[in-house]
């Protein structure tokens, strides 16, 4: 039997009546102020539609019982407690910080059709290039210029000018934002207070209609996109 | 105390047919690229072992270089690097990137090949 | 983790109604992209697997547990800012000089 990790929470209170993908009872194991919600399974779960839906349901069930949750990537398994313990202990401080950031908050997602990032070849959240190709003439500031250029690329990637028309309507809800451009789709995740989900959705839809912006909004979800620092 | 039922709803009514198709393409792309729970395989091509090894080694170096770069940028933004540190770190990252690209070229490895998928972790970079 | 309690006799089961899980997941077609994106592309990453081989023969299985964290978060006591460290040392030296007889 191996351990499948579903989520990390901060609450030491036991999580009640949540079952995992194999129908197993989930339990919480504490490590340094962080509690890992795990289930025992026979083998690493396959990414079938059924398993994915079940996992998502387990996560939302846990989320409804705790103020802060960090969902773990699907299919994360450990052979034994020793390995799990050392990994979680090493990350305890960073995990606690992330739990504070997502406390009483939830994720909403907006998708629009748009261009891929300007350096073309990549997918995913982090812009990858390095071939800046510019070597400034002043040698004394080459390194600084290089970093500033990289920062500019990152900033451009974080921006979503396509969403500008609706930003004023939702600014007050948004605590954190994550942007991803991939496959011709722009995905924007917003971390908002849990109680504001319906208000957020109404504000997005109203503002989108007013500016004739076609988009899809979904949520609320547990904060998957805000779970890792990277 | 009764728990409020939260519904997960996705409203896609406003999108055109081709836009909905794009969302479906995205889903398939994500499934394809990160759906496998089996480990990533690196298997050196017997006819070009040198190139395969170079690809693996350089990918790992580039991975570390990008982590360092990301953190350096973060520190620069936060103002916790002195001007001299910014200059020194920036120059080192720049030189390292040039080195990786040059060595890769010598082994016939393209910049696009410098990537690995780590099973459930998804693309390394 | 369940406590050792004698089971209460359970009432006869009613026919299966729409459960909370059904409500949570919502309409089939709409939610699959979100589920796939959230579960396979996001969330905390704790480990990864890699197999290494030669000539199509798999030889090594490596379990990589990722412990990547920014240095300034891992070492909270250490001040990474050069000028501040320099200043702190200066203050300490001054304090030592004062306490010397």
Instruction: Please report which confidence band the pLDDT of residue A212 belongs to, taking 50, 70 and 90 as the band edges.
Output: very high
Tokens of A168: 């004023």
Kindly state the average pLDDT of the residues C22-51: 74
Tokens of A110: 């907006």
Which chain A residues contact residue B3 at CB under 8 A?
64
pTM for this one?
A: 0.76
Secondary structure class of C46 (helix, strand, coil): coil
Kindly state the average pLDDT of the residues A40-49: 92
User: Are B116 and C50 within 8 A, CB to CB?
Assistant: yes
Least confident range from A15-19, A77-81, A138-142, A192-196: namely: A138-142
User: Are B92 and A183 within 8 A, CB to CB?
Assistant: no
**Beta partners for B42?**
C52
Per-residue model confidence (pLDDT) at position B1? 43
Do A220 and A194 touch, CB atoms closer than 8 A?
yes
For chain A, give the percent of residues with pLDDT over 90.
67
Say if strands C47-54 and C57-65 run parallel, antiparallel, or are unpaired: antiparallel
Contacting residues for A21 by C-beta, under 8 A, at least 6 apart: A4, A39, A41, A45, A51, A54, A55, A58
Which chain C residues contact residue B36 at CB under 8 A?
none
- A182 to A115, B30, B55: CA distances (angstroms): 8, 10, 25
Q: Where does residue C100 rank: exposed (0-12), middle (13-18), buried (19+ CB within 10 A)?
A: exposed
Give the Cα separation of C28 and C30 in Å (integer): 6
Domains along the sequence of chain A with CATH: 2-102 (no CATH), 105-125+160-226 (3.30.70.260)
Per-residue model confidence (pLDDT) at position A28? 93
Say if strands C47-54 and B40-44 run parallel, antiparallel, or are unpaired: parallel
- Chain A positions contacting chain C at CB under 8 Å are 5, 8, 14, 25, 27-28, 47, 49, 52-53, 55-57, 60-61, 70-74, 76, 78-79, 83, 86-88, 90-91, 93-95, 97, 109, 111, 187, 218-219, 221, 224-225, 227-230
Optimal mutation site among B15, B68, B122, interface A, most CBs of chain A within 10 A: B15
C35 and A CB contact within 8 Å: yes
Please indicate whether residue B52 or residue A118 has the higher confidence score (pLDDT): B52
Order of strands, sheet of B40-44, starting from the edge strand that comes earlier in the sequence = B40-44, C47-54, C57-65
Instruction: Please report which confidence band the pLDDT of residue C24 belongs to, taking 50, 70 and 90 as the band edges.
Output: very low
Residue C27 has pLDDT above 50, yes or no: no
Per-residue model confidence (pLDDT) at position A27? 93
Instruction: Please report which confidence band the pLDDT of residue A130 belongs to, taking 50, 70 and 90 as the band edges.
Output: very low
Q: What are phi and psi of C43, to 5 degrees?
A: 90, 165
Per-residue model confidence (pLDDT) at position A127? 35
DSSP states of B57-99 as a string? Answer: HHHHHHHHHHHHHHHHHHHHHHT-S-HHHHHHHHHHHHHHHHH
Residue A119 has pLDDT above 50, yes or no: no
Q: Tell me: the pLDDT tens digits for C61-76?
A: 777 766 555 665 555 5
Q: Tell me: the pLDDT tens digits for B85-121?
A: 999 999 999 999 999 989 999 998 888 777 765 444 4
Per-residue model confidence (pLDDT) at position A59? 96
Q: Tell me: the pLDDT tens digits for B23-68?
A: 888 888 888 766 454 556 777 888 888 888 888 898 888 878 888 8
Highest mean pLDDT among A54-58, A133-137, B97-101, C23-27: A54-58
Kindly state the average pLDDT of the residues A173-199: 93
Kindly state the average pLDDT of the residues C70-89: 57
User: Are B120 and C47 within 8 A, CB to CB?
Assistant: yes
């Amino acid at each position: 039997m191996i351990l499948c990790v579903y989520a990390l929470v901060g609450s030491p209170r036991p999580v009640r009546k949540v079952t995992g993908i194999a129908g197993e009872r989930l339990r919480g194991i504490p490590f340094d102020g962080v509690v890992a919600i795990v289930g025992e399974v026979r083998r690493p779960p396959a990414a079938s539609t059924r398993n994915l839906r079940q996992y998502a349901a387990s996560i939302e069930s846990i989320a409804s019982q705790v103020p802060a949750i960090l969902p773990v990537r699907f299919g994360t398994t450990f052979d034994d407690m020793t390995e799990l313990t050392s990994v979680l202990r090493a990350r305890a401080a960073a995990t606690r910080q992330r739990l504070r950031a997502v406390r009483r908050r939830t994720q909403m997602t907006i998708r629009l059709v748009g261009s891929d990032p300007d350096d073309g070849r990549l997918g995913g959240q982090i812009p990858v290039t390095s071939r800046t190709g510019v070597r400034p003439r002043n040698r004394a500031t080459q390194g600084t210029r290089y970093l500033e250029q990289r920062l500019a690329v990152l900033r451009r990637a974080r921006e979503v000018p396509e969403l500008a028309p609706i930003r004023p309507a939702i600014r007050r809800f948004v605590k954190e934002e994550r942007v991803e451009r991939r496959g011709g789709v722009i995905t924007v995740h917003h971390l908002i207070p849990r109680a504001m989900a319906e208000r957020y959705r109404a504000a997005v839809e109203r503002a989108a209609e007013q500016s004739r912006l076609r988009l899809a909004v979904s949520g609320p979800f547990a904060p998957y996109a805000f779970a890792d620092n990277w | 105390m009764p728990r409020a039922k939260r519904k997960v709803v996705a409203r896609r009514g406003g999108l055109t047919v081709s836009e909905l198709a794009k969302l479906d393409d995205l889903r398939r792309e994500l499934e394809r690229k990160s759906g496998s729970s089996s480990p990533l395989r690196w298997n050196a091509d017997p006819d070009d072992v040198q190139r395969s090894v170079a690809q693996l080694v350089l990918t790992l170096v580039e991975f570390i270089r990008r982590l360092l770069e990301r953190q350096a940028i973060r520190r620069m933004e936060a103002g916790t690097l002195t001007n001299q540190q910014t200059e020194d770190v920036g120059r080192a990252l720049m030189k390292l990137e040039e080195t990786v690209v040059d060595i890769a070229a010598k082994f016939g490895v393209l910049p696009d090949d410098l990537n690995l998928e780590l099973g459930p972790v998804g693309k390394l970079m | 983790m369940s406590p050792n309690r004698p089971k209460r006799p359970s009432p006869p089961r009613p026919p299966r109604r729409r459960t909370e899980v059904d409500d949570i997941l919502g309409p089939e077609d709409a939610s699959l992209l979100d589920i796939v994106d959230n579960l396979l592309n996001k969330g905390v990453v704790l480990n990864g697997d890699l197999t290494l081989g030669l000539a199509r023969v798999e030889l090594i299985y490596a379990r990589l547990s990722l412990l990547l964290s920014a240095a300034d978060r891992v070492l909270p006591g250490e001040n990474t800012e050069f000028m501040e460290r320099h200043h702190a040392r200066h203050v300490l030296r001054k304090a030592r000089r004062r306490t010397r007889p």
